[in-house]
Amino acid sequence: MATPKFVGVETEYGIAVDGPTEVNPVLASSLLVGAYRDGGDRDVRWDHSDEHPLRDARGYEVPDAHEPVVDDELGLANTVLTNGARFYVDHAHPEYATPECSTARDLVVWDKAGERILEDAARRAAASLPPGSRVLVHKNNTDGKGAAYGTHENYLVPREVPFGRLTRQLLPFFVTRPIYTGAGRLGTELGGEVAFQLSQRADFFEVEVGLETTLKRPLMNTRDEPHADPDRYRRLHVINGDANLCEVATLLKVGTMLLLLDVIEDDALPALPELAEPVEAFHQVSHDLTGTRPLRLDDGTTATALEIQERYLDACRRYVKDRDSALDPGTADVLERWEAVLATAASDPRALAGQVDWATKLELLESYRERHGLAWDHDRLKMVDLQYHDVRRDKGLFHRLVERGRVERLVSEAEIVAAIDEPPPDTRAWFRGECIRRFRKQIVAAGWDSLIFDVGGEALQRVPMMEPGRGTRESVGPLLDSVGSAAELLEQLTS
């Protein structure tokens, strides 16, 4: 029986400052993250001590000739929020990492909360700049000038599942899922006649498997950094997805993976033909809006992206049917939506507008292009493409479509607003977020798997959180309510 799964998503946002003074992206990102901190409260810093980004799932650690540089030395902002999320500067981008979630729907809620946090942070940051300045933030993956930035999904899976099996069984899935996960973009990085494509990220991938995330990007990332008990878990670090605004797309991106990982863990996925050239196929899928281009397989035959996705869907259907337990509503919803999206893509891909980002954006671009008689490479269309991703709800074109009822919503605004400050109740994120809310002044630093307290003793005290399913509101809520200070909490935890 498959173990419970947990997921979190890190999103690097695009940023630019428009105004009388030039501000470089690194400084702008630091201003933005710094502006969001609660005034007067001590910031809870990020604990880097248990991070190993060069540890490879294939069994070795890549040597690094440089001493690690921490954010304080770079002057970069990095903080942990009361909702259990991490908000920080990564290279030249503000990045929001959701708290750990146990369901795809919860991930949608806390991912949307991140958009609201970035919108608010940009408004606050602009107030610290010269009059007339605007801080523009976009939830996208490319600046249109040859640079890409990531949206990384993170899934905790049992270490006993061989990494080679994960790679073999997931590569065709990753290659073909842009049908519903792609954010859409004008043009291509690869040359040739591509007016519009499904994915913002696909053109930037060069190899099948590897440790890098910014150079020679691999379809399957091998970083072995579980942020949990390393003997029990591995973190599947997925870097090939797009940043989604459509809630249906986010739900499917995460929900299909959570279900498929259960199938793989139980070794219930039937053998599927492997792609002959996965990277080339990834580019081909992104450049084909119909999902019907034949992709070469290792056995000499071909299959389309839609056909490959149907095979995964069928395998997941059989898996849940064969289980003795009743199908939970969340999984049933994912299966139903997955089937419906593939059926729509097969009959009329553009009818996916309002559910998946690429089709929603394409409908917007085509309407604007026809109305003004523009070529596909016109700069005004590029601005429409970019403005689709603007996080400001009064300016972003996606948000205008939401206001007009042209985008399907899955979660309520009240849920999103609550998630800006509150953590998910059923993962260890609840303990992290609540401790920060209640005992901020006594917490020196926080990470995914520990909190570090300073309660005035001779040494700092670390509270480990190695199990993502522990530290929930149900399990530790009464304890937190029973203590009046961080010192009392530590005494109770160690007694």
Phi and psi dihedrals of 19, rounded to 5?
Answer: 170, -170
pLDDT confidence bin for 55, thresholds 50/70/90: low
Q: Which range, of 54-63, 118-127, 160-169, 220-229, averages the lowest pLDDT?
A: 54-63
Exposure string of 393-432, with b = 16+ CB inside 10 Å and e = fewer, is: eeebbbbbbbeeeebeebbeeebbeebbebbbebbbbbbb
Q: In the predicted model, what is the mean pLDDT of residues 118-146?
A: 94
pLDDT top residue among 151 and 144: 151
pLDDT tens sequence across 441-466: 999 999 999 999 999 988 999 999 99
CA dihedral 289, 358, 111, 331 (to 10 degrees): -40
In the three-class reduction of DSSP (H, G, I as helix; E, B as strand; rest coil), residue 268 is classed as: coil
Q: Is 90 a catalytic residue?
A: yes
When computed from its CA atoms, the radius of gyration of the chain, rounded to whole angstroms, is 22
pLDDT of residue 68: 45
Task: Evaluate whether 211 touches 217 at the Cβ level (below 8 Å).
Answer: no
Mean pLDDT of the chain: 92
pLDDT surpassing 90 at residue 242: yes
pLDDT of residue 69: 45
pLDDT surpassing 50 at residue 333: yes
Q: In the predicted model, what is the mean pLDDT of residues 74-85?
A: 82
The pTM is what? 0.94
What CA–CA distance (Å, rounded) separates 198 from 181? 8
Cα 445 to Cα 43, 85, 239, 424, 453: the distances in Å are 9, 13, 27, 20, 7
What CA–CA distance (Å, rounded) separates 361 from 354? 9
pLDDT of residue 45: 85
Residues forming a β-bridge with 275: 297
pLDDT top residue among 43 and 242: 242
pLDDT surpassing 50 at residue 73: no
pLDDT tens sequence across 45-54: 887 776 555 6
The residue from 47, 56, 90, 449 that is catalytic is: 90
Q: Which range, of 19-23, 53-57, 334-338, 426-430, averages the lowest pLDDT?
A: 53-57
Q: In the predicted model, what is the mean pLDDT of residues 460-475?
A: 97
pLDDT confidence bin for 62, thresholds 50/70/90: low
What CA–CA distance (Å, rounded) separates 60 from 66? 18
Q: What is the 3-state secondary structure (H, E, C) of 72-120?
A: HHHCCCEEECCCCCEEEEECCEEEEECCCECCHHHHHHHHHHHHHHHHH
The tokens for 123 are 């408004």
pLDDT surpassing 90 at residue 140: yes
pLDDT confidence bin for 475, thresholds 50/70/90: very high
Q: Which range, of 143-147, 255-259, 432-436, averages the lowest pLDDT?
A: 143-147
pLDDT tens sequence across 3-47: 999 999 999 999 999 999 889 999 999 999 999 975 546 678 887
